[in-house]
Every structure is written in structure tokens, then in C-alpha cells.
Amino acid sequence: MITVEFLVIILCLLIGTRFGGMGLGLISGIGLFILTFVFGLQPGKPPVDVMLTILAVIGCAATLQTAGGLNVMMQCAERLLRRHPQHITLLAPFTTWMLTFLCGTGHVVYTMFPIIADIALKKGIRPERPMAVASIASQMAITASPVSVAVVSLVSILAAQHGIGHAFGILEILAISVPASLFGVAIAALWSLRRGKDLADDEEFQARLQDPEQRKFIYGSTETLMNERFPKQAYWSTWIFFAGIAVVVLLGALPELRPAFEVKGKMTALSMNLVIQMMMLIAGAVMLMVCKVNAASISNGAVFKAGMVAIFSVFGVAWMSDTFFQAHLEELKIALEGVVKSHPWTYAIVLFLVSKLVNSQAAALTAVAPMGLMLGIEPKMLIAFFPASYGYFVLPTYPSDLACIGFDRSGTTRIGRFIINHSFILPGLIGVSCACAMSYLLVQTFM
């Protein structure tokens, strides 16, 4: 029966991914119904704390976008890239990494893709080299951002482990995930320097240039934010957002600054979940009042819509998976505890594969990480293999990868003949595996 129930979950995930994040959340509800009404399992608990924290972060980031703060950040990034066009393959991934690191979502970098392609073409560099690794880097940075859904989810999971080892805080997690993520991006970028043929030697590209219409399409337009002038409120919103992030990190590093309350007879500092929620709401409120933001427009932005989809997918997937794992915890412990404890890398493989199934690092974590803790994996191993939560580049179906392909007018960033041999697979595997190796090394050395 366990096998049949597990197949129900996998089938729901496979069907859900065909309809995107909203479909994943909705169809997980079908799986939950089957597990409860057909197999008689008691429903688990939806991750309410995680969802509320995500909601606060998304509300703040969406307000920042409406105020024009995101455009300010992207203009600064473009200025750096155009100043050093010969190093576009190295600079582009670190630029998209930084944008995601600051904003907590990879969906903010879409505007950078046509800019990266334009700079590469004008410099005669194969656009696939910087573009593919830039798309990968924008998603790898999610595990390093203090306001990303994935980091917030991991903080919540470790904070709610009820006495299983040391409850690691956000600063301890970031101290490992930031350098590990940057290391993975650096190795992937270095590998990308010589990938593919130079444009002058690419027969397919040169054949396209023989058509005047194609040549005009490839070289005809210049995408840029350089000439845009933003109101002063856009700059204010950026600094307000940074200030909110700084306070979150400060309170995470110094628990004594947080008020303490008596919980079960013990004085406990205010949880970082609530701190993040409060500070993101406050930062959004200050932007709303000071930066003349149109409140009605906040929910129409791309960041808000993408964030709400993420919340919904986390809601459905986590509730369905928790129902299964709570019902069969003892059986799973007996079957898997020894293997997982002696070979913790098996947790990383499961996390990587589930990430591909659900197309979300946060959803994969909320589905797999609690199970890992229940099976006896040390909490620090969850941090060590945090980068493995990014596995949805394996098939080129994620929106950022598809957008990257669409913005490369040269056609060098593409899906291969056999689907799996696309432009993102190798930089993705290199980046994630190197990040996991560095993360594991840092955890073993310092934790």
C-alpha cells in the first residue's frame, strides 16, 4: 500500500508540472483527497508558517518592483556589463546572481537576458556562453538570498525540528550557502568561456546571416536601460528594501536583540520566521507611504504573480507529502534510516529529483527536508546539500530558461535535438555539483 500511495504522489507531481506552479498546487489537492478518502490516511499539516513568511517577502518585493526599485538595480547591472563587454561570460552570471540574491526570486532577471545577448553579439561572443550560465546563476542564487522562498523555508523547517540537534539560524545557513553558491557559479562560468564554436566558425549561424532579414533580426535592435531616468522614489525604495534585509540579517546574527517570551516554561527569543514577516511588512509599508506607490498596481506585477504561484505550489505539495510521510514515518524509518544516515548524499539525490518534479526549490525542500529530519539526518546535512534543491534545469521547461532561449536572437542558446542536450544542462550540473561539494566541505569544516 505504501508503494501505491507513493505512486499516487508521483503521478500528481508529474501531471501537475504540465500545468505549471498553480497546476501543481491544485492537482496535489487531488492526491491529498485520494490519500485521505481512499487510503484512509489522516491529513498532515499544511506549512502555514512557511507560507505566511513567503507571503510577506513577496509583498515587499512586489512593492519594490512597483516603486521602480528593480529597474534601478538592473540599470546598475547593465552599466557594469557594458563597461566590460569582453568579460560578459564571467560578469553576466554574477550579475544575475546578485539580482536574485538581493530580491529573492529569479524572475527579476528577465530584463537582463536581451541586454546580455546584445552585448555578446556586439562583441562577437557566442551568446550561448554568457546567457545559459546567467540563467543557471539566477536560480542558484535562490539558496543564497536571505529573502528567498527556499531560504525562508529551510529556516522554518530547521526552527521547527523540535529538539532534533542544533536549530541553525538564517545567518549560519547563509554563511555556508552564499560562498558555496558563488563557487558553483564561478566554476560554471569558467567552463562556459570556451563552450561551443565562435560565431565566426559556426556554420549554422553564418548561414542565417546570409539572409538579410535574419541579419536585421539578429543585429538590428539594441536592448538597454542605460538611457532610462527613474524618479527619486525608485532609488528610495531600493535603499528601504536593503535596510529591511540588513535588519533581518542583524537580528538573525544577534538573537539577544530579539524579545524573548516564555514558551513551555523556557524563555525563547522571537522566531526568525516572525522577524522576517515583520520586517518585510514594515519595509513594504514604508515604501508604500514614502515612495508614492500605487497600491492597486502591486498585485499586477510579475514578482507578485510569480510569488503567489510559488505559495500555492508549496501549499499543495507540502500538505500532500506531509500526509504520506506522517502516516508511514515508522515504516520509512526502519527501511531508510540506516541508508540515509550512513550515506547522507542519498538525501541530496532525492532532493534534486523532487526539485525537477515540482519545478521549485522551496516546494522540494518542504516535501523532502522534514522527511530527512524524521529519518535521522543531521540538520547540518540539510544545509550541506541545500544547493541540490535546484534540479529543474535538467529539462528545459522552466520559465527563465525558456525566456533565455527566446531572447537569444542568434539561436545559439537552444534546446537540443534529444531535448536533454540543451544549453543549460552542463552549466547546471557543473554549478550545482560544485556548489554541493563546497557546501559539504564548509559544513564539515566549520559546523
Domain coordinates in residue numbering, the chain: 2-446
Distance between CA atoms of residues 362 and 373, nearest Å: 16
Confidence of residue 152 (pLDDT cuts 50, 70, 90): confident
pTM surpassing 0.95? no
Is the pLDDT score of 428 beyond 70?
Answer: yes
Of the ranges 116-120, 300-304, 337-341, the best mean pLDDT one: 116-120
Distance between CA atoms of residues 180 and 160, nearest Å: 25
Distance between CA atoms of residues 197 and 283, nearest Å: 47
Render pLDDT for 352-401 as a digit per residue (tens, 0 to 9).
Answer: 988 876 677 887 888 788 878 877 788 889 999 999 999 988 877 676 78
DSSP 371: H
What is residue 168's predicted lDDT score, i.e. its pLDDT?
Answer: 80
The mean pLDDT of the chain is 84
Render pLDDT for 260-296 as a digit per residue (tens, 0 to 9).
Answer: 888 777 787 787 778 878 988 999 999 999 998 999 8
Sign of the dihedral through C-alpha 348, 350, 356, 361 = negative
3-state secondary structure of 260: strand
DSSP 231: -
DSSP 226: T
Confidence of residue 333 (pLDDT cuts 50, 70, 90): low
Contact indicator for 114, 78 with CB cutoff of 8 Å: no
Q: Which residues of 304-323 are buried (b: 16+ CB within 10 A; e: fewer)?
A: bebbbbbbbbbbbbbbbbbb
Contact indicator for 50, 152 with CB cutoff of 8 Å: yes
* Cell numbers given for 222: 539594441
Q: Which residues of 350-367 are buried (b: 16+ CB within 10 A; e: fewer)?
A: bbbebbbbbbbbbbbbbb
What is residue 432's predicted lDDT score, i.e. its pLDDT?
Answer: 97
Summarize the confidence of residues 75-84 as an average pLDDT: 86
For residue 123, what is the enclosing H or E element? Answer: helix 112-123
Is the pLDDT score of 48 beyond 60?
Answer: yes
For residue 241, what is the enclosing H or E element? Answer: helix 232-253
Render pLDDT for 221-259 as a digit per residue (tens, 0 to 9).
Answer: 666 677 788 999 999 999 998 898 788 778 877 778 889
Distance between CA atoms of residues 134 and 123, nearest Å: 17
